[in-house]
Structure 1
Amino acid sequence: MSTSILRDSTTSLYEQIAHQLLEEIQRGDYEPSGKLPSEAQLGERFGVSRVTVRLAVGKLSDDGVVERKQGKGTFVAAKQVRHGLDALRSFHEALLLQGLQPSMQVLSHALRPVPEAMRGLFEEAGDCLLLERLHVVDDEPIALGRSHLPAELANVTWAEVEHQPIYSILESITGLAVTRADLAIRAQEADKSLAGALHVKRGAALLVMERTSYFADGRCCDRTTFFIRPERYAFILSGVFKSNSAN
């Protein structure tokens, strides 16, 4: 790796170091672990003080290029997941389409009375299945999903279908296709339970996506609330929008 920096440049030493490290990150020089050399190693390499190195790494951290993990070092920041809102697809499928290798862990599943707020969705149903699953990417939790599903899914052996999307399970059990979903997005602070599951601080801001899915006959088949770490996730809506007013 080149270590050239210009001592008499109008660009500060730490900015030059940050730029060089950025180029190396973009080339993939630190894959597969993503770990950067220590501050002492970088200081020796560039012939600068730890303070200068710390400023360079701090700039990369502020720009979202690297992340510092206490007691472990500095790592290339994980790529942000982009979830398109213009197609009907499961949360898990959205991760797969980006070339990621996501996994899911079933945390709990049990029959529960239909919540009062959802009585209008699950008409004439006394109970529904409450399912909690943790979505993991790069060995880190990215989202927790809480799903209210038809009671007939209670007999599913969840250990055998842990990594299957909800839509696939619904269609295989009922023989009906999911044809529509309504989405609502908001923000919420992480309570103690969510903070523990997602490895964030209590009170940290989370993205919340509430998805209500329907069969072709109009019956609700899924109400899932995803609690998402926002630094790893972005919602994208692509399309052409036409103004109603004349220019």
Structure 2
Amino acid sequence: METPVYIQIHNAIKRDIETGKWAIGDRIPSERKLAVVFGVSRMTLRQAIQTLVDEGILERRIGAGTYVANQKVQEKMSGVTSFTDIMLAQGKTPSSKTVSYHLANPSLSEKEKLKLADGEQVLRMERIRYADNVPISFEVATVPEALVQQFSKAEVTSSLYRTLERKAGLTLGGAEQTITAQTASERIAEFLAIKRGAPILRLRQRSFLKDGRPFEYVRTQYVGSRFEFYLER
């Protein structure tokens, strides 16, 4: 079966990007010019471009044209992996800004998720997470206070997972994750330097130690244009 023309054009443009003809951030020629280059109608050319946009390879900027998109940060959805390790594995510099950090009585959902006894408190922290100084996500993380009371604020906020593994000698296990799509509120948009109503990926995750104890309940909102999840089977 012959490959559709728009797919052939899609493959040719993608190959040009992969071989460096156009680098990340470059504006590609207009649809009119590309239609002439490939000898097709603008409708066929537009279909190829839209497929590349849908795949996150290209991005349209209203009034400015079509550009090679920045590579999205990826997280493989299996087990517990720290934001810091994800960034380092992809050659990016991780950092964070703490918005709030305090002890509190757990909400009913936090108490249930973390299997807390009556009277136990939690550490609740809000952080903006960055990759190469670009805001990627806003997260609200809740951890049993007893688990982190011996550590400084810097040790907890820089990388909770590394602190638990290296300084508490704990072994991390798996995680339960739920992802939903939503739009950014005014507060979240301001934190993440995006427009109000922009697409957001919302992750709710409960993380466990190797022995099965839940140690973290986190609600994270990711900028849809800068982050993606992928699954392996």
The two structures have a TM-score, normalised by structure 1, of 0.66
> Where does residue 203 of structure 2 map in the other structure?
208
Stretches of structure 1 that go unaligned for 5 or more consecutive residues are 1-10, 239-247
1:179 matched to 2:175: no
Taking the aligned partners of 1:42 and 1:154, their CA distance within structure 2 comes to: 63
* Residue in 2 that maps onto 1:156: 152
Structure 1 pair 237/70, CA: closer, same or farther in 2 (3 Å)? Answer: same
Distance 2:183 2:164 in 1: 29
Match of 1:237 in 2: 232
* Residue identity (%): 18
Q: 2:56 aligns with which of 64, 69, 84?
A: 64
8 Å CA contact 1:215–1:221 kept in 2: the answer is no
> CA–CA distance in 2 between the matches of 1:154 and 1:77?
43
* Cα offset, 1:20, TM superposition: 4.0
Tell me the SS of whatever aligns to 1:167: helix
In the other structure, the counterpart of 2:161 is: 167
Q: Which has the higher contact order (CA 8 A, sep 6+)?
A: 2
Paired AA for residue 101 in structure 1: K
- Count, aligned residues: 221
**Distance change (3 Å), C-alpha of 1:188 and 1:40:** closer
The answer on 1:78 being equivalent to 2:73 is: no
* Cα distance in structure 2, aligned partners of 1:139 and 1:23: 29
Larger Rg: 1
- Counterpart residue type for residue 109 of structure 2: A
Structure 1 residue 183 displacement after superposition: 1.2
1:24 counterpart residue number: 16
* Aligned residue number for residue 145 of structure 1: 139
CA contact (8 A) 1:210 1:224 kept: yes
How much has 1:148 moved relative to structure 2?
A: 0.8
Give RMSD over aligned pairs.
4.0
Q: Report whether the alignment pairs 1:131 with 2:125.
A: yes
1:147 alignment partner, SS class: strand
